[in-house]
Amino acid sequence: MCVSCADELIRQVTINCSERGLLLLRVRDEVRLTIAAYQTLYESSIAFGMRKALMAEQKKADMEQRIRQLQNQCEENEKQVQNLQAKCKAIEENEQKKREEEDLKHSEQVEHFKNLNTQLKQTLENLLSVPTKK
């Protein structure tokens, strides 16, 4: 019902019975206040919803950026791990070669000292042996 029709109806009812007219007037005013309150509530809730949606979009963008940063950091860390593993392997191979060379040198020295020891024993035995004259 349009506003002017309602006002006309209230005016006519007021002419017949002032109490009913005043009651209808109060009902009309209460309805207007209620509608205004609901309108304000609706606008407020729309604004709140928009703010929350914008905040959620911003948080989502921030999280996506953080995810990209962490993925990049993971890739860098994996590269660093691979580099360090390669260095460890190279160091182990070098140390293994050095160990083998040192073992070979040690073996040669031991063999040399054994031969020298054998020669010295023979020389000592020759010197200590009593020559028998015939």
In a domain, 126, yes or no: no
pTM of the model: 0.53
In a domain, 101, yes or no: no
In a domain, 107, yes or no: no
Helices marked H in the chain: 3-16, 18-128
* Burial tier of 68 (Cβ tally within 10 Å: 0-12, 13-18, 19+): exposed
**Amino acid 127: pLDDT:** 85
**Amino acid 128: pLDDT:** 84
**Amino acid 30: pLDDT:** 95
Residue 31 tokens, joined: 């309805």
Note the pLDDT tens digit of each residue in 49-59: 999 999 999 99
Q: How many domains does one find in the chain? A: 1
Note the pLDDT tens digit of each residue in 78-131: 999 999 999 999 999 999 999 999 999 999 999 999 999 999 999 988 888 876
Q: What are phi and psi of 111, to 5 degrees?
A: -60, -45
Q: What angle do CA 105, 108, 109 make, to 5 degrees?
A: 85
**Amino acid 63: pLDDT:** 97
In a domain, 111, yes or no: no
In a domain, 29, yes or no: yes
In a domain, 124, yes or no: no
Domain range spanning residue 66?
A: 3-93
In a domain, 73, yes or no: yes
Determine the average pLDDT of the residues in 6-33: 91
**Amino acid 96: pLDDT:** 96
The model's confidence at residue 133, banded by pLDDT at 50, 70 and 90, is low
134 pLDDT exceeds 70?
no
Q: Residue 102 and residue 108: Cα distance in Å, rounded?
A: 10
In a domain, 9, yes or no: yes
Q: Which residues of 29-64 are buried (b: 16+ CB within 10 A; e: fewer)?
A: eeeeeeeeeeeeeeeeeeeeeeeeeeeeeeeeeeee
